[in-house]
Amino acid sequence: MDKFRMIFQFLQSNQESFMNGICGIMALASAQMYSAFDFNCPCLPHYNLAYGLGILLVPPFILFLLGFVLNNNVSMLAEEWRRPQGHRGKDPAVLRYMFCSMAQRAMIAPVVWVSVTLLDGKCITCAFCTSVPVETLGNTSHPGFSQGEMKRVLARIPCKEIYDGQELIANEVAVRYLRCISQALGWCFVLLMTTLAFLVRSLRPCFTQAVFLKSRYWSHYIDIERKLFDETCAEHARSFARVCIQQFFEGMSTDLAAARCHPPRKTPADAGEAAEKLLGITDQSTMNSVLKSWHRCKPPLHLHQPALPSSNGWAQQEHPPAHSPVPRREMAAYYSRV
């Protein structure tokens, strides 16, 4: 169990490297999925285009959504976007930076799928086989077909075993023609994606360095703040449970001692340490109020000690004097009443 905990802590501390690894695995998985996929073109005029473009575009869309699902920062982005304003403003530049960072990682697997599909050529051959220029590549001396018969014959080009239009246009010629176009589109797509990735990763910080550094800093801050808040809540819940269980057993021990005329045992020292970690929040309603206050009104981003409110509002002095710090338990009790 300790080994799994160490692995989980390592993944949390190296989340960016972990997410890059996940994106790489998804990219390899998408290529493997395509190689294992049994491509069966329907070879019908009204279904070839839908089937070919569906195989080309639908799986990348699913992989793109899956990249967002596997990213732990999606919930953090949604929480930051939907939270109330409170004492802390929301910077749209930070939200855009967070979304763009997640979108860049999520697009790796779809790009690999589209690239492999175009370079393979089966989808384009199935989707556009009815658009082969018969006048250029076919037999012009062959007796003419009607428009419907022509499409029916050309739609069977991907299905070599049932193709019956060799007199009109050779199957190998049409397949090579469509596959050549598909591979050209595939390499153009790879070049376009590589150029866009270079521009985004390399040139964007050069033109907006100050905005880039600010957005990256505060996105890291939001991530770290959320992790620390979760850790603090987990520690408080652990201390709360320890004290609650300890009080239950103390009550049972007192009842048994009264029934058997035995003196109750002394309270262990760790129970007092656990009670000290509760910071004065010792009941369910108070804890619910604290969590609700954290969601509705997060503290402002300045490190000055806030003053305790008087009976008619905030105190006049903004910060308490250095020789009289506000106790942590009183501060926790105050925030539980906000």
pLDDT tens string 169-182: 888 999 999 999 99
The residues that bridge with 310 in the sheet, in sequence order, are: 313
Q: Which helix H or strand E contains 325, and what residues bound it?
A: none
CB-based burial, 119-147: b 16+ in 10 Å, e otherwise:
bbbbbbbbbbbbebebeeebeeeeeeeee
Expressed in angstroms, the distance from the first to the final Cα of the chain is 40
Query: pLDDT for 83-94, tens place per residue?
Result: 877 777 788 888
Structure token pair of residue 76: 């953090």
Whether residue 324 is contained in a domain is answered as no
The residues that bridge with 313 in the sheet, in sequence order, are: 310
Q: Look at residue 117 in the predicted model and tell me its pLDDT.
A: 92
Q: Look at residue 57 in the predicted model and tell me its pLDDT.
A: 93
Distances from the Cα of 196 to the Cαs of 22, 100, 122, 184, 192, in angstroms?
21, 13, 26, 18, 6
The answer on pLDDT for 271 being more than 60 is: no
Q: Where is pLDDT greater, at 107 or 37? A: 107
Q: Look at residue 180 in the predicted model and tell me its pLDDT.
A: 95
Extract the runs of DSSP E, i.e. beta strands, from the chain. Answer: 309-310, 313-314
Q: What percent of the chain has pLDDT over 70?
A: 73
- Between CA 165 and CA 152 the distance in angstroms is 10
Average pLDDT (198-211) is 76
What's phi and psi for 278, nearest 5 deg? Answer: -75, -20
Number of domains within the chain? 1
- Residue bearing tokens 């010792």: 282
Whether residue 258 is contained in a domain is answered as no
Domain containing residue 51: 19-208
The residues that bridge with 314 in the sheet, in sequence order, are: 309
Whether residue 248 is contained in a domain is answered as no
Whether residue 40 is contained in a domain is answered as yes
Structure token pair of residue 285: 């309603």
pLDDT confidence bin for 125, thresholds 50/70/90: very high
- Between CA 296 and CA 298 the distance in angstroms is 6
Whether residue 257 is contained in a domain is answered as no
Query: pLDDT for 47-101, tens place per residue?
Result: 999 999 999 999 999 989 988 888 878 888 888 888 877 777 788 888 888 888 8
Whether residue 174 is contained in a domain is answered as yes
Q: Look at residue 337 in the predicted model and tell me its pLDDT.
A: 47
Q: How many residues does the chain have?
A: 338
Q: What percent of the chain has pLDDT over 90?
A: 18
Whether residue 24 is contained in a domain is answered as yes
The answer on pLDDT for 249 being more than 50 is: yes
- Between CA 16 and CA 27 the distance in angstroms is 17
Four-residue CA torsion sign, 68, 70, 72, 78: positive
Four-residue CA torsion sign, 137, 143, 147, 149: negative
* Burial class of residue 24, CB neighbours in 10 A (0-12, 13-18, 19+): middle
pLDDT confidence bin for 28, thresholds 50/70/90: confident
Instruction: Note whether 163 and 156 are within 8 A (CB).
Output: yes
Sequence-distant (≥ 6) Cβ neighbours of residue 233 within 8 angstroms: 291
Sequence-distant (≥ 6) Cβ neighbours of residue 55 within 8 angstroms: 37, 39, 117, 123
- Between CA 41 and CA 155 the distance in angstroms is 9
Q: Whole-number mean pLDDT of the chain?
A: 76
Query: pLDDT for 128-144, tens place per residue?
Result: 998 898 888 877 666 66
- Between CA 23 and CA 15 the distance in angstroms is 12
Instruction: Note whether 113 and 63 are within 8 A (CB).
Output: yes
pLDDT confidence bin for 304, thresholds 50/70/90: low
The answer on pLDDT for 326 being more than 50 is: no
Q: Look at residue 274 in the predicted model and tell me its pLDDT.
A: 65
Q: Which helix H or strand E contains 189, and what residues bound it?
A: helix 171-198
Structure token pair of residue 224: 């770290």
User: What is the DSSP code (8-state) at residue 267?
Assistant: P
Whether residue 221 is contained in a domain is answered as no
Four-residue CA torsion sign, 301, 18, 55, 201: positive
